[in-house]
């Protein structure tokens, strides 16, 4: 049975793991960037690395059915898409063969830097997403969904992202969603959306993932203890030196 509580080894567990709201997630990230002096690029790097490890744990190289370990990483224009770019680069270093679809590239320096890093790793970028779902199913072992994060209102998404969500809903290959399954409402447990096989929550699990039934990882070991206590996160213990942990208990 997994025990939850502050990650500080000197503290006693204080309660169940909290599933935080979108507003709390944005506030936490703002504090990391301002009060704790994390850089945006540093934060993206930490999260992208953890996400790639989560993908590798869920889908080890030897377990993939196709001969080539191909992965399609679909990135949105906000921070979640940037985490997807970092994840793609680490997947390439882990001997996977990622391809990136990044249809609405951000002009921010951090996103441009991660784009260049992927290009310098010879990671191909698709110019368009095939309309025929079967082409994606045949070409890739799995898809990484890095389209929508806490910064993005699902209701405000326009093309090409509405079309992307339709495509994701009809795929037969497994989907790994980063932080929030794209199209899910972060304030509810509405699951009439895409159906990812794996969810990798960033920092702390979000309210929408209370309805998630697949394999659920958490990437939040880097959070300062004071911030964990302030938001009463009660994060689980991470095994060994791992930067992610699989969530197995039902939250309260």
Q: What is the pLDDT along the chain (252 residues), one digit of tens a residue?
A: 344 454 444 454 457 899 999 899 999 999 999 999 999 999 999 999 999 999 999 999 988 777 789 999 999 988 899 999 999 999 999 999 999 999 988 888 999 999 999 999 999 999 999 888 999 999 999 999 999 876 555 555 667 788 888 899 999 999 999 998 988 864 444 545 789 999 999 999 998 888 788 999 999 999 999 999 999 999 999 999 999 999 975 554
| pTM confidence score | 0.89
Residue 166, CA distances (Å) to 134, 161, 185 in order = 13, 9, 16
d(CA 82, CA 73): 11
pLDDT computed for residue 2 by the predictor? 46
d(CA 160, CA 164): 6
Identify whether the C-beta of residue 182 lies closer than 8 Å to the C-beta of residue 154: yes
Longest dimension (CA), the chain: 54
Domain 22-241 fold is Rossmann fold (3.40.50)
pLDDT computed for residue 106 by the predictor? 81
**Sequence ranges of the domains in the chain:** 22-241
pLDDT computed for residue 175 by the predictor? 97
Q: How many residues does the chain have?
A: 252
d(CA 18, CA 135): 40
pLDDT computed for residue 131 by the predictor? 81
């Amino acid at each position: 049975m997994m025990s939850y509580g502050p990650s500080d080894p000197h503290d006693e567990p204080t309660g169940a793991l909290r599933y935080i709201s979108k507003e709390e997630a944005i506030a936490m990230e703002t504090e990391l960037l301002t009060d704790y002096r994390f850089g945006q690029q540093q934060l993206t790097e930490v999260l992208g690395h953890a996400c790639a490890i989560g993908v590798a744990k869920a889908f080890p190289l030897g377990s993939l059915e196709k001969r080539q370990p191909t992965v399609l990483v679909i990135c949105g224009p906000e921070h979640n898409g940037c985490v997807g770019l970092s994840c793609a680069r680490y997947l390439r270093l882990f001997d996977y063969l990622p391809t990136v679809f990044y249809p609405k590239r951000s002009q921010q320096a951090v996103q441009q830097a991660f784009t260049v890093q992927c290009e310098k790793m010879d990671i191909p970028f698709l110019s368009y997403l095939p309309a025929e779902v079967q082409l994606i199913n045949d070409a890739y072992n799995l898809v990484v969904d890095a389209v929508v994060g806490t910064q993005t209102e699902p209701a405000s998404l326009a093309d090409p992202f509405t079309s992307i969500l339709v495509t994701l809903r009809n795929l037969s290959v497994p989907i790994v969603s980063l932080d929030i399954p794209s199209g899910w409402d972060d304030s509810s447990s509405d699951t009439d959306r895409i159906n990812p096989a794996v969810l990798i929550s960033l920092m702390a699990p979000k309210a929408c993932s209370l309805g998630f039934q697949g394999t659920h990882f958490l990437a939040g070991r880097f959070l300062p203890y004071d911030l964990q206590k302030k938001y009463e996160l009660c994060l689980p213990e991470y095994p060994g030196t791992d930067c992610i942990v699989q969530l197995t208990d039902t939250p309260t």
